[in-house]
Structure 1
């Protein structure tokens, strides 16, 4: 039988029949909590109570009872309590949760998760053939879930997702077309309706969902601008949903080069009704343009193969547009606005690439200068030798 409680100002300590000491204390909700572990000495137990009291005063205390919820249950609840997420985002998170988080960590209590456990989970994903990109997406989802558990719900003292570089996708460098290749690709589309689609997507740096959601009123060919205010999402079940752009910065008005205005003018005249809310790019039967239907009707794979850029994705057109914009000397702020990004990160990638290219040009010029100087020195040496008197 346990000894009588040893009372103190905050909580109490009692000695167990085993000789170890157990703590109990009132939680902020008024309920009495029992320490999750026991202590070898009363001094250790007293120190633990002092620490818990200090954490409560500072607002840093985490409830061990709440940390007993399984990660899988908490993650599903986390996802359900975010009504502002776009349908496509919910679909992607659900896939990652069911496919990659649940098998390895779903049955683990949130409070038991450790950095080592997360590291082992990620290593197992990669060892089982999951790509670095997908593993990074799964890791970022786990980190977001546990950030809420740590900072908002106070279930754990800190987020165990602390693996440097685990959130980086390290995607392979994507191809960038030249301006002439962009026009060649547009001309190679098997369906003439898609010529303007290729040109506008590239030179306005648009996403697939943005360009397919454009309406006639979004194009102002006199001002040479295109307005992005919606995106069209194709969900896994086949449903097509119109929603807001990917981010707040996604709502934007983009300048377009005058060189593609004739193609857009011809497209509007040939394929788009005069009503302002008519969609600019639709499928053959007048419905929303789906990715698979576009690739089939445009004979995309044949076109890129014939051009020698096999493996080119539609998204690479936006990548090409971003690169061309960066090479024009656009500022970081201008690139962000054109690309529709809230953060500097993506725009900096293009600026960095431009700086590298510029440095290569400078290095090449330097080499030419040095070569020219060497040739000049050789000529001077030869001339000096010819002028030396002999005999």
Structure 2
């Protein structure tokens, strides 16, 4: 019902004899239009309280962030950057109910062109997560970020070293600490944050190294945290490398001592080590420029060359599943489809001719 007031019109909406909402307008035509929209939404079962629907994206981002409190510092910092640099400037002040899917899609695809496909996907995931929460709570009835397809992210091709290059690099680096680090990374596939967090207690018998924690650099500060379930693992080193690691770890007395610290006992930083040790050593050894992460590529490549299955490589690298390993390292696995076809053909010919394969002699 619409009531005439001194300064305009007051709309009161009822549903099944119960009051549900009200709003004031200066013009009668605006009051009638709003009342009609509320009644249509109530009849269709899509109505939400007007005050909730008017909540801004920025307000709901804060609510959504509260559900992500268990994430690691690096993840939180990355998400905060996406929100600050991309999501809030585009949608922060807008009511949740005012953003159509076409606008979100246009924004995300523009990000993919002007920034990168990776940036677009991460920013879109924020909007999608915020709206999923709002839909779940009944504040809005659709998620404008669902079903949006973006260009595939470009894949960085692995840049592994050979066995010979890896050992040449190990012989060129300036210290025993760096030599052992290079060999451990090149044969285990540890991430930088994992190898920089290794302690004396990490080294186990029979060439095994237990990984349970890692460092992350967030805003220039190092944070030590436990690894995710699929990242926590035990890696096994070749005996020749395990011997060098065991000899190096014997220099330390306390199980809590870092194995590869700086001169003052602090954790090594990726960029510092790359600049002062890796880059000049590569040049001296006449090896193509690589990053510390490419030593992880090296471990994957050498394991595959030795005949390791994709599942074994995934476990070694701490990937969540074998599909992740294939996305990153498919080009390193041998293309043996020809051999597979030959073996299948032999079985097919046997079956076609009605013969059975002879059992092998004992």
TM tier, shorter chain? 0.7 to 0.9
Cα distance, 1:291 vs. partner?
1.8
Aligned to 1:154: 138
Cα distance, 1:254 vs. partner?
1.4
**In the TM superposition, what are the counterparts of 1:188-199 in structure 2 within 5 Å?**
188-199=172-183
Matched, 1:288 2:288: no
One of 151, 156, 159 as aligned partner of 1:172:
156
Matched, 1:241 2:223: yes
SS at 2:216 equivalent: strand
One of 230, 239, 260 as aligned partner of 1:258:
239
Say whether the 8 Å CA contact 2:185–2:295 is kept in structure 1: yes
TM score, norm. by length of structure 1:
0.72
SS at 2:235 equivalent: strand
Cα distance, 1:346 vs. partner?
0.8
One of 134, 144, 165 as aligned partner of 2:119:
134
Cα distance, 1:213 vs. partner?
0.9
Aligned to 1:368: none
How far apart, in 1, do the equivalents of 2:173 and 2:31 lie? 69
Distance 1:144 1:297, change over 3 A: same
Say whether the 8 Å CA contact 2:158–2:328 is kept in structure 1: no
Cα distance, 1:24 vs. partner?
4.1
Distance 1:67 1:313, change over 3 A: farther
Aligned to 1:383: none
SS at 1:248 equivalent: coil
Say whether the 8 Å CA contact 1:183–1:199 is kept in structure 2: yes
SS at 1:285 equivalent: coil
Distance 1:46 1:204, change over 3 A: same
Aligned to 2:313: 335
SS at 2:134 equivalent: helix
How far apart, in 2, do the equivalents of 1:37 and 1:2 lie? 7
How far apart, in 1, do the equivalents of 2:176 and 2:55 lie? 57
- Note the residue ranges of structure 1 that are not aligned, 5 or more in a row: 4-16, 56-60, 366-391
One of 253, 274, 280 as aligned partner of 1:302:
280
Say whether the 8 Å CA contact 2:12–2:21 is kept in structure 1: no
Cα distance, 1:359 vs. partner?
3.9
**In the TM superposition, what are the counterparts of 1:342-357 in structure 2 within 5 Å?**
342-349=320-327, 352-355=330-333, 357=334
Distance 1:329 1:62, change over 3 A: farther
One of 59, 62, 79 as aligned partner of 1:93:
79
Distance 1:290 1:351, change over 3 A: closer
- Once superposed, what is the RMSD of the aligned Cα atoms? 3.5
* Aligned residues between the structures: 328
Matched, 1:106 2:87: no
- Note the residue ranges of structure 2 that are not aligned, 5 or more in a row: 4-8, 24-29, 343-362
**In the TM superposition, what are the counterparts of 1:42-61 in structure 2 within 5 Å?**
48-52=41-45
Q: Pick the structure with greater CA Rg.
A: 1
One of 191, 198, 207 as aligned partner of 1:207:
191
Say whether the 8 Å CA contact 1:22–1:39 is kept in structure 2: no
Matched, 1:33 2:17: no
How far apart, in 2, do the equivalents of 1:323 and 1:288 lie? 28
Distance 1:322 1:159, change over 3 A: farther
Distance 1:362 1:101, change over 3 A: same
How far apart, in 1, do the equivalents of 2:267 and 2:94 lie? 43
